Amino acid sequence: DAGVIQSPRHEVTEMGQEVTLRCKPISGHNSLFWYRQTMMRGLELLIYFNNNVPIDDSGMPEDRFSAKMPNASFSTLKIQPSEPRDSAVYFCASSLLAGITDTQYFGPGTRLTVL
Amino acid sequence: AQKITQTQPGMFVQEKEAVTLDCTYDTSDQSYGLFWYKQPSSGEMIFLIYQGSYDEQNATEGRYSLNFQKARKSANLVISASQLGDSAMYFCAMRETGGYQKVTFGTGTKLQVIP
């Protein structure tokens, strides 16, 4: 079975450009999570969706970040305009439900570098 | 207070020996889930093991076991018969019933297995 799929795996862009990260969750999973990982701040939850609806976006750093989930099999995280401090690894994860027993399975991540 | 505390930033273990990675947590919920993930140098996050707060027995998955001490709020990961491929970052995480049931991650422990 395919796991969580993320694209691109690597993205290098210049400050001010728009960046779009994509995620396809595991088929049948109802919850999707976007995380950011940096050396300084560790793994941070940015936003999570349940049944395509954003439930908690309190981790989204600022208005430059936006996330959508138009259907159960696709989500995007957009940064516009990008800044060098956005450089990080961005992970998408999905779980069957949002209960405490539901394991999150992570995608391979997108390594974003903003110059 | 930190919800998840991993006090060992780095550890060494001899190949074929057992190693314990510490994790303590803080929650007022009665029902919660505890998870361990492995992140090798390639970057992906790999789910290892899960323990529910009401589970009476410690979880085991192959060479991984979770030493769950509820009263002490600790959920240590034990890796038996370490292998070179176990060298990685290890993250402890908790999912609570409150707060939209989102997962909180610790800062991780870097394990290096010595031949």
Per-residue confidence band for B99, with pLDDT thresholds at 50, 70 and 90: low
pLDDT score for B1: 60
pLDDT averaged per 10 residues, chain A (length 115): 92 97 96 94 92 91 93 96 96 85 91 97
Q: Say if B64 is an interface residue toward chain A (CB within 8 Å).
A: no
pLDDT score for B5: 96
Residues of B in contact with A98 (CB under 8 A): 100-101
Q: Quick check: B79 and B59 in contact, CB under 8 A?
A: no
Alpha carbons B65 and B51: distance in angstroms, whole number: 10
For residue A15, give how far its alpha carbon lies from the nearest alpha carbon of chain B (Å): 24
Phi-psi label, residue B16: left if phi above 0, alpha if psi -120 to 50, beta otherwise: left
Phi, psi of B45 (to 5 degrees): -100, 120
Q: Give pLDDT tens digits for B44-96.
A: 999 999 999 999 899 999 999 999 999 999 999 999 999 999 999 999 999 88
The H or E element that residue B9 is part of is none
Residue in B with minimal Cα distance to A102: B33
pLDDT score for B96: 83
Residue in A with minimal Cα distance to B38: A106
Alpha carbons A114 and A83: distance in angstroms, whole number: 6
Provide the number of CB pairs (under 8 Å) joining chain A to chain B: 55
Residues of B in contact with A89 (CB under 8 A): 43
- Strand A110-114 and strand A10-13: the pairing is parallel
